[in-house]
Each structure stands twice: as structure tokens, then as C-alpha cells.
Amino acid sequence: MLSSPEFSSAATIYGAFCRAVEAWRDHEFLHAPAEALGGAAAITLTYGEADRRVQQRTAVYASAGFGPGHRVGLMLANHPEFFIHFLALNAIGASIVPLNEAMRDVELCELVAQADMDLIVTWQAQRSRLAAIAADAMPIGDALADAMPRAQRPSTGFAPDETSEAAMLFTSGTTGKPKGCILSNAYFTGIGALYIGLGGHCAFVPGQDRILTPLPVTHMNALACSFMAAMLSGGCLVQLDRFHASSWWHTVRETGATIVHYLGVMPAILLQRDDAKDAWEGHAIRFAFGAGVDPRHHAVFEERFGFPLIEAWAMSETGAGAWITANHEPRHVGTRCFGRPQEDLEYRLIDENGRDVAVGTAGELLVRASGSDPRRYFFSGYYKDASATEAAWRGGWFHTGDIVRRDHEGSLFFVDRSKNIVRRSGENIAAVEVEGVLMLHDAVRACAVMPVADEIRGEEVMALVETACTGDAEEARDIAAFCLEKLQYFKIPGYIAFVDALPTTASQKLQRGAIRALGRDLLEGGLAHDLRALKRSRG
């Protein structure tokens, strides 16, 4: 441990890590198999070994003048080194901003401009790219170097506590473009404590579990849920670079995974494969934790592979303050049920006029923590956007934008999304962000982006476009290729349909409901150009 652990209060992430080291020093903490490291040698760190690395990194940051009040971007992908830097920065009271290296330069520039970071740390291979994007606005550090560039401003000097910012995660929020979601130490420790205490189908075995996840550390599931649960329970986090369907079962068995995290696209893909039964027989998985499994796949998957898919609901904004899990029976498999709210969570389902709806009727889900602090364990707010924060909390309730219904026993079922978001393979894609890029194309006069159903990925991005040109397949491909230069591949339209005019109100606002109906009709009628073949990761 640090010789003077002044910031090791159990109320912080680093403080929780210190306690884990004391209890489980020789237990494995972080593991990355060779396939997750591009063929390099696998990495395994015990709690004690991780502690030594964290101390080394802490000393490097502290000697460069970093501390409380500083914010550091980490572009380290899903590598175990990400968590070492996260813990080291938390130890000195600094916050992190996870950065996705798959972002296009345009997207990354916008994020860098918003986040007010004091330093970005990355691999040597990414330093020149980031230096060009940052344009000398901030120093760039090497993740493995023995020294860091000096901090350009002093730290606040205040010892961090549970309310201190631990991370800023960019999210689409309840509307509009991605916003910086400020997450406190209590947000993280609260999530870990809630998850390992769920019980039922989600029972943890202290000091023994191995949580395997292919999900990105730029999302709260991997950044907070699996990481904190492993640490607080003395388990091992098996972090993959991404989901590899062809080697999934081999990895599951080789790593001894007892818990896996998933998105709905994963069960769909695994069910489509013709893997032999002996590929998965003998696995040690007790349960899988995730969201968005296709109702048609839910029971079939569980019967074939022999473990439950535990559906849950939460948002980056809600954290442990509003987390609902179908970890007890009845789970209503195959119905999009995500469980019953816990006793410390209050919720409402309301109609468009703000009135509570009857049992069985769909309404927008509103949530808050019970008791005197309705925002307990929620996010701290949107960075530099107090109006958006208060709009999300209007009337004393957090407005989720999700349409939900409940049955007579109190189970909740996901129905739809009222906010203008496409949920593709677990990624929240803000329609307004894609529309903004589309409008930069010379041939696009007006456009509207919407979600359409997709057999594998849950939803796909569809754009309705008014054009001044031909409106043919070649133009559709040109528009999609243009978007691909400015957006990550998964955000570009998978379908484009050309229309003479978009449905609008008398005040020329887009009629989103009518647009969705029109888009579905055009797609079902074969009048949309299929561009999904262009949506391939470059990394």
C-alpha cells in the first residue's frame, strides 16, 4: 500500500481496493487471455501484484503534480492496464474519462473539447493521433512510461470522499447529443455493493467468482458493474477486448468463467452458430447478466446452454440508485421482463400528460431513491449542463425516457423508448448526432433518423432523407460513406430511404411518431437501401 494512504478511505474506489488487497492478496484479480491482447501473452495479476502496479502508477502521477480536481482521459481500450491507471488516479483523487479509440477524429475532437481534461494517457501508437486532435490544448502521456508530463494547473488539495468525481462517462442521456455524465465514488461503490448483494440467481461466491465480460470500459457495465463486483467480492475480472463468437466457448472454459456479462446481440449470434455441443459442455457459468435479449431467443438459449440470462435495467445516469433486476422468480422469460423494483427504489409510470397509468398500460418510467435523498447513488449531473440535469429530474423524479408496463405482481416489462435513441448492439446512438452529420452532405436537404428492428442487433439505424439529387442506390452509398468518415461505424445509417418530404408539424418540427411509422413501411415495402454491409469495424 501507499506509505501515507491519506486518500484510502473506504468511501472511495481506491479505498475499496485497499480492503480487497488486505483480504485477498494472493487471489487473481485481473486476467486477459491472449486472444484479447492481439495474440500477446496472457496477463494475470493477483490483488497483490495489481497493488504494486497501482503504487508505481500513483507515484508517477503524483510526481507530475496530478491530484484532486484533475481529470485524465484514458484511451487504453479494454486492457488490464486501464484498471491499473483508474485505481492509481482514484488513489490521488483525480477523475478519469474513458476514451474510445474507435471514435472518428471528428467525434473525438468534440469530446475532448467538452471534457476539460488535464491529460490524456494512451499507448505509444496513439500519441501522435491524439496530439493532433488535442492541438496542444493538453499534454499526452504514455501509459507505460516512467514519467508523465507535468500538470498544467495545481490540484485542489481537497481529500476526496464519496461525493468526489471519480469518472466522467459520455452518454446520450435522455435526449440529444452525448453529454458528460459525472460519476462519484459513491456511484461506483454503490453499484458494486448492490450487485454482489442481489442474491437469487445472482448469488456471488466471495473469493471465487470469475466475471468474464467483452463489454467496453467506455460503458458503465464494464467500467462499474463487473469491475466493482469483482473487486468487492474478491473475484477475478476476465476482461476481453470484444466479443469473439468463434472462440467464445473456448474462452469461457479456458478462463473458468462463473459469471458472464452480455448484450442481446450475443445470445442471438451464439444461437445462430453450429457449434458442437462439446464446445460448451463442462463450462462453469452459473448465470449471465445483461439486457436486451430477444424474447424469441431467451428460453431457447437457456435450455441449450444450461444457465439463465438475467435481464436487468439501469442507465448510466441511474447507477445503483435505480437498478432493477430479474434475479428472482418469476422472471417471465421471453417477455422483456426486467424484474421487480427493490424496496429502496420508488417509481412511477406516467402518460404524456404526467398522469399515472393503470396496471398493464404502458407509460414512461420515472425513478428516484426512497428516503430523504432521491438522487442517492445516481449520477452527480451532466457536466456544464445544469439545465439538462434539472430537466431530467423535473418534478423530483428522474425521467428515463423508457416506456414500460407493469403487471399485477409488480414485475416491469420493457416496451419501447420515447427518447430519440437507437439502441444497436448495446450502443446508444443519438438520432440528432447522426442527423447532424447527414446534414453536412451537400445532397441532403432534410433528414430524420429512427430505429428499426433488427434480428441480430436489436435495432438498426435508419435515415429518411430529402435529397436534391437522384435518390438512387449509388447516392445512398455515397451518403453512408460520407458518414463513415465522421462517425464510428455502428452509428452510420444501416438503411437510407429517400422521401419527397418528411412529416412535420405546423411549426415545422419533425413528427417523430409519424416518421417511425413511415420508415417501417418503407423498409417493409423494400423501398429502403440496405447499407449494413458498410458497417464494419476498422479496428
The stretches of 45-79 forming alpha helices (DSSP H) are: 47-63
Domain ranges of the chain: 336-419, 424-534
User: What whole-number distance in Å separates Cα of residue 99 and Cα of residue 113?
Assistant: 13
Q: Which positions ≥6 away from 290 have C-beta within 8 Å?
A: 221, 261, 262, 263, 264, 266, 309, 310, 311, 312
Q: Cell numbers of 195, please?
A: 450487485
Q: Higher model confidence: residue 40 or residue 178?
A: 40
Whether 114 shows a pLDDT value over 70: the answer reads yes
Instruction: Kindly list the distances between the CA atom of residue 517 and the CA atoms of 325, 424, 452, 472, 521, in Å, as whole numbers in the listed order.
Output: 32, 19, 10, 22, 6
Mean pLDDT, the chain, integer:
91
CA 63 to chain centre: 32
Q: Report the pLDDT averaged over residues 50-56.
A: 98
Q: Which positions ≥6 away from 276 have C-beta within 8 Å?
A: none
User: What whole-number distance in Å separates Cα of residue 399 and Cα of residue 122?
Assistant: 36
Residue 123: pLDDT band (50, 70, 90) is: very high
Q: Higher model confidence: residue 403 or residue 228?
A: 228
CATH top-level class of 336-419:
mainly beta
Whether 8 shows a pLDDT value over 60: the answer reads no
Q: Which amino acid is at 333?
A: V
Whether 455 shows a pLDDT value over 90: the answer reads no
Report the C-alpha dihedral over residues 412, 414, 415, 421, rounded to 10 degrees: 140
* Three-state SS at 61: helix
Q: pLDDT digit string (tens) for 486-532? A: 898 999 999 999 999 888 755 456 777 788 889 999 999 999 999 99
User: What whole-number distance in Å separates Cα of residue 200 and Cα of residue 194?
Assistant: 13
pTM to 2 decimals?
A: 0.86
> What are the backbone dihedrals phi and psi of residue 36, each rounded to the nearest 5 degrees, phi first?
-85, -5
Residue 468: pLDDT band (50, 70, 90) is: confident
Go through 90-124 and write b for each residue having 16 or more CB atoms within 10 A of its CB, e for each that does not.
bbbbbbbbbbbbbbbeebbeebbebbebbbbbbbe
Report the C-alpha dihedral over residues 257, 259, 262, 268, rounded to 10 degrees: 70
Q: Residues 322, 316: contact at Cβ < 8 Å?
A: no
pLDDT score recorded for residue 1? 30
Number of residues in the chain: 539
CB-neighbour burial class of residue 166 (10 A; exposed 0-12, middle 13-18, buried 19+): buried
Alpha-carbon Rg for the chain, nearest whole angstrom, is 23
Go through 509-529 and write b for each residue having 16 or more CB atoms within 10 A of its CB, e for each that does not.
ebeeeebbebbbebbeeeebb
Provide the 8-state DSSP code for 152: S
pLDDT score recorded for residue 119? 97
* Three-state SS at 130: helix
Residue 538: pLDDT band (50, 70, 90) is: low
User: What whole-number distance in Å separates Cα of residue 486 and Cα of residue 363?
Assistant: 36
Least confident of 102-106, 125-129, 272-276, 284-288: 102-106
Domains 336-419 and 424-534 share a fold: no
Q: pLDDT digit string (tens) for 330-376? A: 999 999 999 999 999 999 999 989 999 999 999 999 999 999 999 99
User: What whole-number distance in Å separates Cα of residue 82 and Cα of residue 387?
Assistant: 32
Q: Which positions ≥6 away from 308 have C-beta within 8 Å?
A: 201, 287, 288, 302, 331
Place of cell 444501416: 494
Instruction: Kindly list the distances between the CA atom of residue 523 and the CA atoms of 444, 452, 477, 480, 520, in Å, as whole numbers in the listed order.
Output: 20, 9, 16, 17, 5
User: What whole-number distance in Å separates Cα of residue 52 and Cα of residue 415?
Assistant: 48
Superfamily holding 424-534: ANL, C-terminal domain (3.30.300.30)
Whether 271 shows a pLDDT value over 80: the answer reads yes
Whether 152 shows a pLDDT value over 80: the answer reads yes
Closest CA to 447 of 510, 524, 506: 510
Residue 400: pLDDT band (50, 70, 90) is: very high
Q: Report the pLDDT averaged over residues 172-186.
A: 79
- The helix-helix angle for 13-24 and 80-91 (nearest 10°) equals 110
Residue 6: pLDDT band (50, 70, 90) is: very low
pLDDT score recorded for residue 155? 92
pLDDT score recorded for residue 421? 80
Cis bond before residue 295 (omega within 30° of 0): no
Task: Give the N- to C-terminal CA distance of the chain in Å, as an integer.
Answer: 37
User: What whole-number distance in Å separates Cα of residue 418 and Cα of residue 197?
Assistant: 31
Do the bridges between strand 43-46 and strand 28-32 make them parallel or antiparallel, or are there none, so unpaired? antiparallel
User: What whole-number distance in Å separates Cα of residue 72 and Cα of residue 96?
Assistant: 5
